Structure 1
Amino acid sequence: MTTRLPDAPWRHRRGLDALLRALGADQSLSRFVGGAVRDGLLGLAVNDLDIATVLQPNDVMDRLQGAGIKAVPTGIDHGTVTAVIEKWPVEITTLRRDVSTDGRRATIAYTDDWQEDAARRDFTINALYADPISHEITDFFGGVADLEARRVRFIGDAATRIAEDHLRILRYFRFLARFGNDEPDPASYEACRSAANSLMALSRERIADELLKLLAVDHPLASVRLLIDGGILLPVLPEIDRSSLARLTLLVTREADASVQPSALRRLAALLPPDPSIADQVGARLKLSNKARKRLATALEGSGGASSPRALAFEIGVEGAIDRILLDPTTDVNEMKLLDGWSPPRLPIGGGALIARGLQPGPDVAKALQMVEREWVAEGFPDGERVARIADQIVSKFQRARQ
């Protein structure tokens, strides 16, 4: 029985038909490939589109430019050109085969053999091609059946696939969490465990990117458990251990109870010991941005002295407050409702107003303003009229103290 790609809105995007004509899709020179085909078969939204082609990269560039389509040589040395249609990037890659690999990068050669190109891909469900005209699926390794059975399977020998690119260890668990049934293929799992030390050869940026993608999946717990139980993260993230899973499990439950969108960084914080200095060290090791490192550390600093969710949000920002509340099992997730649509206001008074009330310019102004702000926050951010009365009281205290 022939499998065909179902119709979907992404297939009718403006400019796509012109792109396919330029790439000779009607002559079977180019096909949809990878995630778009996989997600299309599952009825999921497709945002990223990849096209595989027998055309050489320079020919692709010439054809696109001849058709008036913006062409960017994003990875032309490796066979990839990016076409931009209606601000939508589409990656077009010439069919390839691996000549040699070292676990981090591959030396490739171009080919016109679709099966050769499929054989170098990681999982069967990612090695599916769809003819843009007939919509017929080309499936060399049983990917359609695996997709239907929710199986994630390496193409060929798992150990060989992992030796070609060590990052496939983490990718396996991400795809298992997203598309699998949480039951790993025993041979694949053992291959990942045996090759765990090879993760040390990868850049920390690549590890961080893949780990955060896994944590962003709706249901990552089974895969994270497998990673921890198998000691797979130990060579690169020894801070994550069996106690980490309990914290992550609780966080995932609390996110769902509060109807809060999952956050990969918040979930990474849950996996780490509740120590902001360790979080910062891990963030630095993973080469996270300064903003991401600060968020990790802030999430694990504890509840502090804030008396309410809004007071906490005023102190560290709404995002930070949400992280802290969800990570703290002693707080009620219903408190999150107080932050819905709320933005921390600005204190509706300044130092000039205190001076106008008779306070002498100098250090006392800053101190008094801090006292006004503390009281304003403690009272739940009352309006300007109440703040004026608070200011009168504070200024009077300072004046009495100076008499």
Structure 2
Amino acid sequence: MTASIAYTAWFKAKETQALIAALEAARPNGSRFVGGCVRNTLMGREVDDIDVATQLTPDQVTEICAKAGFAAHPTGIEHGTVTVVINHRPFEVTTLRRDVSTDGRRATVAFTEKWDEDAERRDFRMNALYADASGAVHDPTSGGLEDVRAGRVIFIGDAHTRLREDYLRILRFFRFNAWYAKGPLDPHGLSACADLVAGLDTLSAERIWKEVKKLLAAPDPRAAWEGMTAIEARARALPEFSNETRLDALCSIEADLMLTPDPMTRIAAALADQDSARALARRLKLSNEERERLVAALGTDVKITSYMSLREMRRAIYRLGNQPFRDRVMLAWAGAGGEKAQQWRALVAHGQMWTPPKLPLTGDEVMAAGVPAGPKVGLVMREVEDWWIDADFPDDKLSVIERLKAVAQGMS
């Protein structure tokens, strides 16, 4: 079985060709593209990152790139990785490696010149595909090409061994199935994940959170998610997720209507309330922005219904903001079991199109109306703002000033 990626735009790009030419000039047949860029190209998917595996050492890569005028940064030098930047386009160039020892979280590696040794330390056969300078694809495991064509996620060699090397591969197994599988989960891989699921307890919060977000960004992760739940991987990694029914309904809505999924909305859907969102944020060390978004999505201070009028919708968006409003609409839609899709979808669309205006009133104008500086200025502004919201945000400065005068006079 043969394949080539020479036809693709990223492969033919001048930056890509300049890099591989420089590396090949130093050591012919010593560098190959590897991993996601090869896999995704063969599967007709978008390519985000370009990785290169090389028999050259990191020092040699750095020297070659300096002579060629490329920027080279030692971003993972202990593991043999140099990030090369050409015309603002980054490439990760990594020396071939073999594992010396592993503890289920990290590995000690040694450099090698053997392509099969480098392939053996990877997780899945579809991730161990290499493409040389001509674009020809090499398949050291003899199963990667078949897997990408069949849409199968199969561990390299013995699944238990691969998992003991890094227990994060349990979550990666489900994430890759969510993104790339065309059929059921590989039973041997699933069984190995079940046998070693306790290994998830050893992983750092940051690694778990990163994988969960990637998994839930897949167009339809339901089959993979069901597999996680069946072997209790979900319960171990994400004990705060208690609303499986709402998450499943949300995924169904997005898949049926081909809506672009947002992993943060899905995560909010799986949580019961704001307290569980805060608990998840603490345990998995979410950023402040991520925590605040989940908490806002699960708020109950503004009632969201499928039959909201445009005026009610605008009022809600003004109070909440566009993103929290969309999150709450999607959660309410999923909570309703996906019914009244046309009405909910219209709310989502209007919520994205309408930009909340700014109150056309300043503190200086309030004081010019006779209100003394101090707390009373804020009280008057809030009173005028409440009127302005109830009036559906009139773009009429004169009306706002007239209302200001009436409020100021009434408070004097």
User: Under TM normalisation by the shorter chain, which class is it?
Assistant: over 0.9
Q: Give the 3 Å change call, closer, same or farther, for CA 105–35 of structure 1 in structure 2.
A: same
- Equivalent position SS for 2:116: helix
The question of 1:245 aligning with 2:249 is answered no
- 1:313 partnered with 2:300: no
Q: Deviations over 1:35-94 (max 9, x none)?
A: 011011122221200111111111111111121111111111211111111111101111
- 1:328 match: secondary structure: helix
Q: Does the CA contact (< 8 Å) of 1:4 and 1:137 recur in 2? A: no
Structure 1 distance, partners of 2:255, 2:286, is: 26
The match for 1:286 is 284
Q: CA RMSD in A?
A: 2.1
The equivalent residue for 2:405 is 392
- Provide the C-alpha distance between the structure 2 equivalents of 1:194 and 1:100, rounded to a whole number of angstroms: 21
Provide, for residues 200-232 of structure 1, a one-character-per-residue CA deviation record: whole Å limited to 9, x for no partner.
111100000000000111111111121122211
What is residue 329 of structure 2 aligned with on the other side? Answer: 325
Contact 1:102 1:165 in 2 (8 A): yes
Question: Is residue 33–residue 131 contact of structure 2 (8 Å, CA) maintained in 1?
Answer: yes
| Aligned counterparts of 1:317 and 1:109: Cα–Cα separation in 2 | 51
Match of 2:57 in 1: 56
Distance 2:166 2:41 in 1: 26
Q: Which residue is 1:264 aligned to?
A: 263
Offset at residue 281 of structure 1 (A): 1.3
Query: What's the secondary structure of 2:236's corresponding residue?
Result: coil
User: What are the superposed Cα offsets for residues 121-171 of structure 1, whole Å, 9 maximum, x if unpaired?
Assistant: 000100001112252433423111111111110011111111000000000
Q: How does 1:216-231 map to 2 (within 5 A)?
A: 216-231=217-232
SS at 1:90 equivalent? strand
For structure 1, list consecutive stretches of 5 or more residues without a partner in the other structure: none
Aligned equivalents of 2:169, 2:19: Cα separation in 1? 31
Worse-matched range after superposition: 244-253 or 373-382: 244-253
Aligned partners of 1:334, 1:259: CA distance in 2, in Å? 15
SS at match of 2:185: coil
2:299 is aligned to 301
Distance 1:73 1:370 in 2: 54
Structure 2 counterpart of 1:381, from 368, 371, 393:
393
**Any idea what SS the aligned residue of 1:291 has?**
helix
CA contact (8 A) 1:5 1:137 kept: no
- Closer, same or farther: CA 86–217 of 1 in aligned 2, 3 Å: same
AA in 1 matched with 2:369: R
The amino acid of 1:171's aligned partner reads R
1:262-320 superposed Cα distances (whole Å, 9 cap, x missing partner): 211111111111x1121011011111101101111111012526872322222222111
Deviations 1:227-273 (A, max 9, x none): 122211222322224xx332112223444678753211111111111
Name the SS of the counterpart of 2:84 in structure 1: strand
Give the Cα separation in 2 of the matches to 1:287 and 1:368.
40
Q: Number of residue pairs matched?
A: 396
Moved more, 356-365 or 76-85: 356-365
2:340 aligned partner: none
Does residue 23 of structure 1 match 2:23?
yes
Matching residue's letter, 2:19: L
Q: Is the 8 A contact 1:258 1:334 kept in 2?
A: no
Q: Find the counterpart in structure 2 of residue 353 from structure 1.
A: 365
| Counterpart-to-counterpart distance in 1, 2:187 and 2:210 | 26
* C-alpha distance in 2 between matches for 1:119 and 1:299: 43
TM-score, structure 1 length as denominator? Answer: 0.92
User: Is 2:75–2:81's contact at 8 Å kept on the other side of the alignment?
Assistant: yes
1:2 maps to 2
- Paired with 2:263 and 2:177, the residues of 1 have a C-alpha distance of 17
Give the percent of matched residue pairs that are identical in Structure 1 and Structure 2: 41
Q: Say which is worse superposed, 220-229 or 302-311, in terms of deviation.
A: 302-311
1:254 and 1:333 in contact (8 A); partners too: no
Equivalent residue letter for 1:302: T
Superposition map of 1:73-92 within 5 A: 73-92=74-93
**1:366 maps to amino acid:** G
8 Å Cα contact 1:225-1:245 kept in structure 2: no
- TM-score, normalised with respect to structure 2: 0.90
